[in-house]
Structure 1
């Protein structure tokens, strides 16, 4: 299983209706994509940040490789230019039956600090009203990230937490 995400930071004067329309017109095209467990089309449209950040959860690398190298990712390159794709390894994936009803994702990022004894990262929030949650890690960057899916907009615990609006979920 693999996770990938690219974060397209957009100019503050960018009309985010373009992103909404893009997802409305094309979002369904990844429904049922080979090896795709979940794709969440994420967006931030605030006074301080404009971002389009699709999040993918792949059952295996074959579908991810097909997406990146067989023309599908070219749509991102054509529309937004060269973007870095962050990839990570899932530690825990809990997708509830109502995840398709989710409207928001809370992202919490952590550093994995140098140590002499590795400790398995865990979710930092108690199970509550989320419809799903995913915990991933990236040993190349020594970070781990928690994603929580919600129907109602969650509250940020820290300013470094990120709340995304979900425009579409493909499964």
Structure 2
């Protein structure tokens, strides 16, 4: 499993209805994308859910590198740099994935929590704890799914979770889910990935 995320920060007065319309028009295009586990089309709006900014910020879990590369380099991603400028695309190596108790419910919100990996720690212990945290998130009320991943270039872990209600039981940045493409979600490998 590979996680991928980018955020397009928009002006404070930006009409977020433009993003909602964009997702309504184009979101279905990845509903059957080969190699994609899931893509959550996410937004944050300034002043809502504690957000200081307006952002369009999709989050992906990939089953295959080929699917991810096909998306990034085969033309589908090009609309983002064409319309908004080229964003920084973050990638993480998957540590764990868990389906939640509300796995069959449509997700309303997502939470992304990025944490630095401190110097001088036992890396195996930090990664084990990150994987266990995905499991702890998945059993909370309203959890649709939860994942943990690591970026060993920046030494950061990310926890990503989807929730079936608007009061997620997770810490981090809260996003609204506009659409979920999940052609390979059932094929995302569950549990710890090593």
Instruction: Give the TM-score normalised by structure 1.
Output: 0.91
Q: Deviations over 1:80-105 (max 9, x none)?
A: 11111000011111134735511101
Identify the match of residue 90 of structure 2 among 79, 86, 90. 86
**Contact 1:36–1:57 (Cα < 8 Å) also in 2:** yes
Aligned residues: 169
Give deviations 1:98-119, integer Å, cap 9, x for gaps. Answer: 3551110112221101125222
Equivalent in the alignment of 1:75: 79
For the pair 1:58 / 2:62, whether they are aligned, the reply is: yes
Unaligned runs of 5+ in 2: 183-194
8 A contact 2:105–2:164 mirrored in 1: no
Deviation sequence 1:106-153 (CA, Å, 0-9, x none): 122211011252222321755212111011111101110111211111
Alignment-derived partner of residue 169 in structure 1: 180
Structure 2 match to 1:133: 146
TM-score by length of 2: 0.81
Name structure 1 gaps, 5 residues minimum: none
User: When you count helix as a share of all residues, which structure comes out higher?
Assistant: 2
| Structure-2 change in CA distance of 1:155 and 1:128 (3 Å) | closer
**Residues 156 and 162 in structure 1, CA contact (< 8 A), matched pair in contact too:** no
* Poorly superposed stretches of 4+, deviation over 6 Å: none
The 1:131–1:99 alpha-carbon spacing in structure 2 relative to 1, beyond 3 Å, is same
CA RMSD of aligned residues (A): 1.8
**Counterpart in 2 of 1:149?**
162
Aligned 8 A contact 1:154 1:163 in 2: no
